[in-house]
Amino acid sequence: MSADEEIATEAARAGTVPRGHRVEIRGAAKRYGAVEALKGVDLDIRAGSFTVLLGPSGSGKTTLLRAIAGIERLDAGSIALGPRIVDDRRVHVPSERRGLAMVFQDYALWPHMTVRQNVGYALKRRGGPRDPAALIAETLERVGLASKHASYPHELSGGQQQRVALARAIVGSPALVLFDEPLSNLDADLREHLRLEISTLTRESGATALYITHDQGEAFALADEVAILRDGTIEQRGTPESIYRSPASPFVARFTGVAGSLAGVVLAVGAGSATVRVGEAELRSAAGADVCVGDDVEVLIRPTATRLEPLPLGSGSVSPAGSRQALPGRIVDVAYRGRGYDHVVECDRGLLTSVFDERAWTRGAECLVRIDPAACMAFG
């Protein structure tokens, strides 16, 4: 089943029909003085899908979002929303005529308007129904703010203000909703609750969503598809699962979460895999087609790949020769995480962090770290 078919199937199950814009970006380039913020970006976003732009500060994700919104104009390239070009060398359609809404990091509510008036203003701007009261009330009910309709922004918590911003975005049934790191100012528990609301309400609306963040966990939890940006270009795009399992580069692997990296030498290669000598141990891992026997490589290990084990009885050594898929090490730190304990383990060729176990190991204890070959990657 294709990605488009999967989205259509999900929508049918949820009782929604994607009615959002299809977004097509070709050769998008933007420069600020000597800084190239975007370097010829190509990106397709399926109608009704939820896409996340993930990247560090300065990667170009905010510039791309602002260009789609019409806040910035590209220096080169084009943006199409549905069948209509909204930005190229000849055309620049203003934001208010692009059929989109935006949820900002800092809420951007009118301080002199009540909750009801803030949401209603969006309808007025988009030419909504003559009697919008029922629609406003219904939308506030959906975001859990019906009882706060007469309150002003300064009387609300940060989470409540962001709910108003979300209600304002969806009340007019836009074809495209843009999210500019809307959860970054909120505490962890509230972020998780609002993440769920954003995901549910946006998908129920049938709109296309484009969301930017630097948080890998947030991106993977929300997205149908993720595009990872680095230095103004897209480094990799795909489903959260495909990116996590098969990162295209060390940058993508690190940015989406690794327990650590270990230096080694390739002993053998197979179809998409390699056997690497790391100290006295041998590790099998995923590998790209460019990895060859004898290469010096870096093995990047996901936290999910690791498991702690005691040293074999009578080994008397932290370096058992010829170990396969197990590295000798020493516990240097332990952190309680509620569900269990994360350990930092010092190995011969580097540190591994976030090594999980349900019990706490003693600092300084010698151990083996068992490595799952399906969750580590060798890069030359």
3-state DSSP assignment of residue 148? helix
Provide CB contacts within 8 A for 188, sequence distance 6+. Answer: none
Task: Say how many residues make up the chain.
Answer: 380
Give the SS3 label for residue 371. strand
pLDDT at 356: 94
CA dist 305 and 282 (Å) reads 15
Which residue type, as a one-letter code, is found at position 355?
Answer: V
pLDDT score, position 107: 86
HSE (CB half, 13 Å, CA atoms) of 27?
7
Say yes or no: 231 and 281 in one domain.
Answer: no
pLDDT more than 70, % of the chain: 91
Instruction: Determine contact, residues 83/119, Cβ cutoff 8 Å.
Output: no
Domain boundary among 232, 250, 268: 250
pLDDT (0 to 100) of residue 312 = 80
pLDDT category at 89 given cuts 50, 70, 90 is very high
pLDDT of residue 20: 87
Q: What pLDDT score was predicted for residue 10? A: 46
**Confidence grade of residue 12 (pLDDT, cut at 50, 70, 90):** very low
The half-sphere exposure of 347 on its side-chain side, counting CA atoms within 13 A, is 28
- 379 pLDDT more than 50: yes
Query: In angstroms, what is the C-alpha Rg of the chain?
Result: 25
Same domain? For 279 and 239 the reply is: no
Least confident of 114-128, 157-171, 229-243, 333-347: 114-128
Residues 76, 199, single domain; the answer is yes
What's the mean pLDDT when you consider all of the chain?
Answer: 89
User: Are 72 and 216 contained in the same domain?
Assistant: yes
Q: Please give the Cα distance from 155 to 187 (Å, whole number).
A: 18
Give a yes or no: residue 192 inside a domain. Answer: yes
CA 177 to chain centre: 17
- Residue 212: which CATH number? 3.40.50.300
Asked if residue 48 belongs to a domain, the reply is yes
Same domain, 359 and 228: no
In terms of residue numbers, what domain contains 343? Answer: 258-379
**Closest to 331 in 3D by CA, of 311, 305, 304:** 311
- What average pLDDT does the segment 90-98 reach? 93
Same domain, yes or no: 234 and 264: no
269 and 239 in a common domain: no
| Helices within 59-157 (DSSP H only) | 61-69, 115-125, 133-142
Total count of domains within the chain: 2
Decide if 135 is inside a domain.
Answer: no
* Domain edge (last residue) among 227, 250, 273: 250
Q: Would you say residue 275 lies in a domain?
A: yes
pLDDT tens track for 303-340: 999 999 998 865 545 444 446 899 999 999 999 999 99
Residue 321: per-residue pLDDT: 44
Task: Please tell me whether residues 288 and 337 are part of one structural domain.
Answer: yes
Residues 286 and 338 placed together within one structural domain of the fold? yes
Residue percentage of the chain with pLDDT more than 90 = 74
Q: Are residues 235 and 281 located together in one domain of the fold? A: no
- Give a yes or no: residue 307 inside a domain: yes
pLDDT at 280: 86
Question: Residue 300 has what pLDDT?
Answer: 95
Confidence of residue 219 (pLDDT cuts 50, 70, 90): very high
Q: Which of 201, 222, 250 is the last residue of a domain?
A: 250
Q: Grade residue 245 by pLDDT with cuts at 50, 70 and 90.
A: very high
- 330 and 306 together in one domain: yes
Any domain includes 123: no
Span 271-315, pLDDT tens digits: 889 999 998 889 999 998 889 999 999 999 999 999 999 988 655
The residue-averaged pLDDT of 208-236 equals: 96
Give pLDDT tens digits for 177-215: 999 999 988 888 888 889 999 999 999 989 999 999 999
Residue 26 lies in a domain: yes
Does residue 268 surpass a pLDDT of 60?
yes
Position 136 in a domain: no
**Residue 217 and residue 357 in one domain:** no
